Amino acid sequence: MISRIPTVCPYCAVGCGFYLTRSGMEYMQDHPVNEGSLCPKGNAALDVLNHVERLRYPMMRVGGDWIRVSWGEALDRIAEEMDRALRERGPKSIAFLGSAKCTNEENYLFQKLARLMGTNSIDNSARRCHSPTIIALRRILGTPAMTNPITDLALSDCILVFGSNLAENHPVVARWILRAKDRGAAVIVADPRVTPTAWLADLHLQLNPGTDIALINGMINVILREGLESRSFIKDRTKGFEELDVSDYTPERVSSITGLSAGDIVRAARLYARARASAIVYCMGITQHSCGTDNVTACANLALVCGQIGRPGSGILPLRGQNNVQGACDMGALADFYPGWRSVDDPMAIDELRRLWNAGTLPLGRGLTADMMPDADLRFLHVMGEDIVNSDPTVSRRREKLRRGFMVVQDIFMTDTAKLADLVLPAAAWAEKEGTFTSTERRVQWISRAREPPGEARPDLWILAEVAARLGFELPSDPEEALAEINQAVPAYRGISRSNAGARGGIIWPCPHPDHPGTPVLHTERFSTPEGRARITPVHHTPLERGSPEHPMILLTGRVVLHYNSGSMTMRSEGLVKRDPESHVDVHPEDAEQLGVADGDAVVVETEWGRARARARVTPRQKRGTLFMPFHFPETNMIASELLDRKSLMPELKVAACRIWRGE
Amino acid sequence: MMAKIYLDPERCIGCRACELACEREHGHPRISVGTVSDLAAVPLYCHQCDVAPCVAICYTGSLRQDGDMVKFDSDLCTLCGLCLVACPFGAIELDSKIQRCDLCGSGTPVCVMTCPAEALVLEDLDTVTRSTRGRAAGLLAARLR
Amino acid sequence: MKIDEKVCIGCRACSAISSSISISEESDVRSITFHPHDESMTDSLIEACPAGAISSGLTAESITLIFRMKRCSVCGEPFATEREIEHVAARISQMQDFQKRWLDLCPECRRDGQRRSHAVPCIRIRGRR
Amino acid sequence: MREILVRPERCMGCRSCEIACAVEHSRSRDLFGALSEMPQRRLYVEHVPEYSLAVPILCRHCEDAPCVAVCPTGALTQDALTGVVRHNRDICIGCWTCASVCTYGVIGRDRRARVAIKCDRCPDLDVPACVNACPTRALIYGEVEELSEARRAASALKLARGVAASR
């Protein structure tokens, strides 16, 4: 009997390793990313596994009650309802939501099932964190993923952090930034708030919300004016530089847009461009805007102009949110991409999959995303491990509309989404099944089964295979067999196997054949665009006109260190909840005084989308004129914006015009 | 000299992983993180003082100086609570027993192991001050060149 | 057992051993009630008392001793009896000439004060950025 | 306020300062006596191999010194007039909080008394022993204003020489 089994943390996308023992956990000191360390959520990971509220049996809604049913009944019913929806209304009436918390194998088979049923309405929560990254980096660099591994940050001489509070949201990343600082690296943090990440900064750019493009173009302006660009890199590795016109973005003008001093803009530009190796780290402060795709494009432009990409310590690092969000996207659990980043609008690319899957035809054109589902006339919705009601504002506000059709939710807890369903299936949690997770740095790691699932809970893969079998498709229920099929479908995963992904630290894709050691740094010699060059793409600042006389302030949203996304996991962890029990809203002291709000007061925050209650926290670290609310509490989602980035369908969750007053 | 836990406040990101780890290990956290003016975070824990006031006040010998560490023997403890009064750090708590850092027995304490930012280290004092001096000298020397 | 109320400092040692000694706290006072009890416990109580306030002998009635609590000079919360503080101050100064400025603070405010002083250099640098 | 100024460019790493410091803080106050007493260091000549330089690192007696701020017992105090950070061994509890916050790493541990040990700027001497002993005047002692004045004069001289040479 093995006394400890290696596993990967189920929370964020850093992909930290630790051991599960019979009674608890142990740190894994030889893991390449976390070296034994874990953040508070990682330390509390077992609370979820052992929780009394875990779903144990399949349950069907009959009238207002939940009735325990057998797996056979439940699975037959799913097949029957899906089949009926298809017969009566066609493939447009069915939809699927995959999960950035489920394995690659599960997401791969889930999207395959959706597409074999004739729909591209399959999506996952990546839509709400990095869909702009997917669109922009795929177009510009060819590969929509982090260019360098996390540990590479220790080799950087300048780290530019844009819109990421990584010290709270990816604490282990801070370890590598601190290592770089030990070597004398300069750290620049651009964020309207003074976060613990900003504590680490040598230069903190406290810019106005929504002015990222102006800042970046301003930096490029300085770089070009001072001749700090990399001429040879621009000439040999990129195209489109001639079209890049940033002459309007003088430090003085950018200063008036961003609220930063012109000197700080110049300093940031010089630090970034002059360093031997510079890295850009960004997160949802860049993506969750109606100009999210343009924001990412601007980041890429900056890196390309300076040639700061494709070397150790030098690259673009979008920090992704969930433990397998990179993998779920690689597997094509997206409304606009098939596995291996094949566009739904590219019949040639899809034809390869058609042959692999032995399918007659496969659907073309973008399917529905979660935001669109409440308003689509759906007859059947299958949700695998996502709590869209608590993570998606649009769905949250229109949740009742989801109930028009038959809804299946498979999850580990009775989430608010599951409560809407007609059928709820108990799923095995991460340590109770096998398969691969892909972390934010493209690191594919095999997890082993360390525990038995509670009651009759089953791995998602088994559930999918059983449903498929009833619909007349044969899908593998064994993760290794599924991975073998992924080898065929996703080029970057061609050489990935249980043995190399199961080794300590797994393997970083692209891994084109079984003996390949993996590719930690991308784009070292050529970019993965068809022409092998990166495409510099001009983008411009458009003012964020969100304020109005009724809603003069800007509400910012984000995460806090002790909670995670919709809270379906962390809110069930006693150690985390007791340390951070309720929603709060951060207010600058001068705003607070003007509004008559004191620390600890009950307040109401209103946006044009709704009202939420919270407790005020007065702190000078908040920028004047802005508020901040963590989005782990359902209240915040009820008032978040519904505006979309048209290129990626990312909702503008980061900012909303608002007002605040004291009251219950 | 024996290793103790030392803190570099400039590294601490206030994530409270040490608290959670300690609570998991001992049932009650013996290290507590607090933020100051939302600009810094400082974990607070027993310093294993060399001339410890808690040892001076303990009349049962339950707290005693053992080498460079303060050892605690719960069998001798009467739960009088005077060590809580004596400790200048407020690092001792009393629930159903005395809660105080014991460096997790042997090996590396869990708070040190789990700290993502390497703000807590288990070192002996000489190593800590030597590396600080090295850094200070390095910075000065780098500026001269 | 007999209790010498002039010597007793109002700590929690005896009440932790014997169920016939009860302790209660109300804003500014801690009361300890000694009920008549099984005399076989007396030896261990004598041994457990840090102040030497317990001796052998018979007591027929319940006695309640009332101790004034010391309030923290920062937050104002009571945290120990005044006698306990005096006892600690005296015991530590037998060994060394301490300033003992922390004895006026509750443990929470001691932690808070330590954190503040630790954070001073960080705040000085970070506040300027 | 008189300070010890370090001019690392002059330091040749002879460690005369360390020896003088040990002698001054020994009971016997002579070299052989000091050695037999196993002296403990209060100042440190650090060798920086990357730059092949020796840099004397000693207590700066910082303004608003962090070590004084964190000392829970008041064993470390700062003289308002001279700025000297003094350590009272009798009330030190050996918690090493001072040592862990010191940015220079110059608070050590007295092996016997198990309490902190640090530079006291030689209260019995007019000029600290280390400064007296330095053969290259890498350590100098004086008012900060005087010291900067001397530095200004030196750079003015350097510039003037350059101008004169180019004429």
Tokens of B95: 């629930």
With tokens 């920086």, the residue in question is D48
Does residue A2 carry a pLDDT above 70? no
CB of D1 closer than 8 Å to CB of D80: no
Distance CA A302, CA A315 (A): 11
pLDDT band at D84 (very low <50, low <70, confident <90, very high): very high
Q: How far is A212 from chain C (nearest CA, A)?
A: 19
Residue A68 is predicted with a pLDDT of 97
Q: How far is C60 from chain B (nearest CA, A)?
A: 25
CB of A303 closer than 8 Å to CB of A316: yes
Q: Give the count of Cβ contacts less than 8 A between chain B and C.
A: 103
Cα A396–Cα A400–Cα A401 angle in degrees, nearest 5: 100
Q: How far is C67 from chain B (nearest CA, A)?
A: 15
Tokens of C7: 């010597």
pLDDT in tens, B39-86: 999 999 999 999 899 999 999 999 999 888 999 999 999 999 999 999
Residue A208 is predicted with a pLDDT of 94
CB contact A198 to C (< 8 Å): yes
Tokens of A181: 């600082």
Q: Which helix (H) or strand (E) holds A629?
A: strand A626-630
pLDDT in tens, D38-59: 778 899 999 988 888 899 999 9
Does residue C129 carry a pLDDT above 70? no
Tell me the one-letter amino acid at D120: D
CB contact B91 to C (< 8 Å): yes
Determine the longest span between alpha carbons in chain A, in angstroms: 71
CB contact C54 to B (< 8 Å): no
Q: Closest CB to D105: pick one of B1, B133, B140.
A: B133
Residue A597 is predicted with a pLDDT of 95
With tokens 């980096």, the residue in question is A137
Residues 6+ apart with CB under 8 A from A325: A13, A100, A124, A125, A126, A129, A130, A440
**Among residues of chain C, what percentage have pLDDT more than 70?**
93
CB of C36 closer than 8 Å to CB of C62: yes
pLDDT band at C41 (very low <50, low <70, confident <90, very high): confident
Distance of CA D67 to the CA centre of its chain: 15
With tokens 């196997």, the residue in question is A497
Q: Would you call A458 helix, strand, or coil by DSSP? A: strand
Residue A470 is predicted with a pLDDT of 95
pLDDT in tens, D22-38: 999 988 877 777 777 77
Q: Which chain D residues have a beta carbon less than 8 Å from that of C122? A: none
Give, as one character, the DSSP assignment of residue A475. Answer: -
The answer to whether the CB atoms of C122 and B91 lie below 8 A apart is: no
More confident call, C3 vs A200 = A200
Does residue A566 carry a pLDDT above 90? no
Does residue D166 carry a pLDDT above 90? no
CB contact D46 to B (< 8 Å): yes
Lowest mean pLDDT among A153-157, A159-163, A589-593, C31-35: C31-35
Q: Closest CB to B59: pick one of C50, C103, C107.
A: C50
Does residue A316 carry a pLDDT above 90? yes
CB contact B11 to D (< 8 Å): no
* CA closest to B96 among chain C residues: C16
Tokens of A521: 């740094």
CB contact B126 to D (< 8 Å): yes
CB contact D12 to B (< 8 Å): no
CB contact A267 to C (< 8 Å): no
Closest of A647, A655, A555, A89 to residue A369, by C-alpha? A647
Residue A240 is predicted with a pLDDT of 95
Residue C94 is predicted with a pLDDT of 56
Subunits in contact with chain D (3 or more CB pairs closer than 8 Å) = B, C
pLDDT in tens, A617-630: 999 999 999 999 99
pLDDT band at B145 (very low <50, low <70, confident <90, very high): low
Sign of CA pseudo-dihedral C13, C16, C21, C24:
positive
With tokens 């953040």, the residue in question is A39
Tokens of A532: 């092998």
CB contact B127 to D (< 8 Å): no
Residue C98 is predicted with a pLDDT of 58
Distance CA B58, CA B72 (A): 10
Does residue C97 carry a pLDDT above 60? no
Instruction: Identify any residues that bridge with A616 across adjacent strands, giving them in sequence order.
Output: A585
The answer to whether the CB atoms of A171 and B116 lie below 8 A apart is: yes
Q: Which helix (H) or strand (E) holds C26?
A: strand C21-26
Residue C96 is predicted with a pLDDT of 60
Q: How far is C129 from chain A (nearest CA, A)?
A: 6
pLDDT band at C37 (very low <50, low <70, confident <90, very high): confident
The answer to whether the CB atoms of B88 and D93 lie below 8 A apart is: yes
- Mean pLDDT, chain D, rounded, equals 89
The answer to whether the CB atoms of D107 and B129 lie below 8 A apart is: yes
Average pLDDT over residues A157-163: 97
CB contact C119 to B (< 8 Å): yes
pLDDT in tens, A361-380: 999 999 999 888 988 889 99
Residue A253 is predicted with a pLDDT of 97
pLDDT band at D1 (very low <50, low <70, confident <90, very high): confident
Q: Which chain B residues have a beta carbon less than 8 Å from that of A24? A: 24
Q: Which helix (H) or strand (E) holds A17?
A: strand A17-21
Long-range contacts of B136-142 (CB under 8 A, 24+ apart): B136/D46, B136/D55, B136/D57, B136/D103, B136/D104, B136/D105, B137/D46, B137/D47, B137/D48, B137/D55, B137/D57, B138/D48, B138/D50, B140/D6, B140/D8, B140/D55, B141/D8, B141/D48, B141/D50, B141/D51, B141/D53, B141/D55, B142/A184, B142/D51
Between positions 69 and 128 of C, the ones with CB within 8 A of A are 122, 126
Does residue C38 carry a pLDDT above 80? no
Cα A101–Cα A167–Cα A412 angle in degrees, nearest 5: 20
Between positions 96 and 155 of D, the ones with CB within 8 A of C are 97, 101, 103
pLDDT band at A544 (very low <50, low <70, confident <90, very high): confident
**Among residues of chain A, what percentage have pLDDT more than 90?**
86
Q: How far is B85 from chain A (nearest CA, A)?
A: 26
- Mean pLDDT, chain B, rounded, equals 92
Between positions 24 and 63 of B, the ones with CB within 8 A of C are 32, 34, 36-37, 39-42, 44, 51, 53, 56-57, 59-60
Tokens of A402: 């989801």
CB contact C13 to B (< 8 Å): yes
Rg of chain B (C-alpha set): 17
Tokens of A316: 């673009």
